[in-house]
Structure 1
């Protein structure tokens, strides 16, 4: 029961409560369950079965990332850089927009103001982040941090350290 509940939100504590454990100690019980190899294996089996059921695999994810990468703002703007009607947008744009903000613009104040237009802010996916995900998906390693710290002594030899101890209140005490 816990394994099925865990798949809902991938949170051990709430899954333990939904599976019938007491709220007191649910986080610890959930954590303990996730430490058991049999539980982790069952969760993996359930995840795989769910992926098969909804037909999601690595190819599906890669295809979606490619669709986002190929989004071109020219597909939704006309020659005068006005936003085309929504009915003319490619399906990809409708699917992957992060948000749309609309604000009516006015001229004048109070009752004497007139509507002069609508400000449209279109937020599309982060193309750089998408490219990073694509690179990780195909093991490009272009975004892998490659940091190496080395400490060497004179002429590339092993470093030498001199440590001096002093009595409390003696030399070196500040």
Structure 2
């Protein structure tokens, strides 16, 4: 007696992502810290956006597309871990004496080195009378800015990488547990 086994269906080629999925990928790279907001911005219903975002992020096609988009953006902006770290080192090496004259007064901004000019968050100049001028310069917290840039564009200058294998399905785990249980009852 011959047992007929059902034929395995040929592996289906993955279908390309649709427009809504592409919008999700585009929105995700704008704000990778909030997948739910990316799903809502892409047009998914807000009530199910969290679940849908999780499903999308588990899809290898979505993962691949997000990686492509991030690579393209990193090339466009010329942002890399090396670049972030170089800017950090430049900022740390910047000497406050570079923006002060011999009297301790602030030099005119055009005389500042580039690293200092790019570090201005705000400034105020108030003329009280002919002899008194108040100058107030607030510099950016460059360390914080570079940390955020490094994390946002996925250059991973400040993030430890953790490799997680998610290829083991729940079904595989259950089958393995059944096998162990059967082996235990046979002995």
- Scaled by the length of structure 1, the TM-score of the pair is 0.58
Task: Identify the structure with the greater helix proportion.
Answer: 2
Offset of 1:90 from its aligned partner? 1.0
Offset of 1:84 from its aligned partner? 0.3
Residue in structure 2 matching 1:24, options 33, 47, 58: 47
- Structure 2 equivalent of residue 116 of structure 1: 132
1:19/1:127 CA distance change after superposition, 3 Å: closer
1:86/1:116 CA distance change after superposition, 3 Å: same
Question: Aligned partners of 1:129, 1:43: CA distance in 2, in Å?
Answer: 23
Q: Indicate the SS of the match to 2:118.
A: helix
Structure 2: stretches of 5+ with no match in the other structure: 1-21, 151-155, 159-187
- Structure 2 equivalent of residue 83 of structure 1: 106
**Residue 4, structure 1, aligned to residue 26, structure 2:** yes
- Between the two proteins, the alignment pairs up a number of residues equal to 127
The two structures, once aligned, show a CA RMSD in angstroms of: 3.3
1:40/1:67 CA distance change after superposition, 3 Å: same
> For the Cα contact (< 8 Å) 1:51–1:57, is it kept in 2?
yes
**Residue 102, structure 1, aligned to residue 118, structure 2:** no
**Residue 50, structure 1, aligned to residue 66, structure 2:** no
Question: Aligned partners of 2:46, 2:143: CA distance in 1, in Å?
Answer: 42
Greater relative contact order (CA < 8 Å, ≥ 6 in sequence): 2
Structure 1: stretches of 5+ with no match in the other structure: 108-113, 139-174
- Structure 1 equivalent of residue 97 of structure 2: 74
> For the Cα contact (< 8 Å) 1:68–1:125, is it kept in 2?
no
**Deviating more after overlay: 83-92 vs 121-130:** 121-130
- Structure 2 equivalent of residue 141 of structure 1: none
Question: Aligned partners of 2:97, 2:143: CA distance in 1, in Å?
Answer: 15
> For the Cα contact (< 8 Å) 1:71–1:92, is it kept in 2?
yes
> For the Cα contact (< 8 Å) 1:104–1:115, is it kept in 2?
no
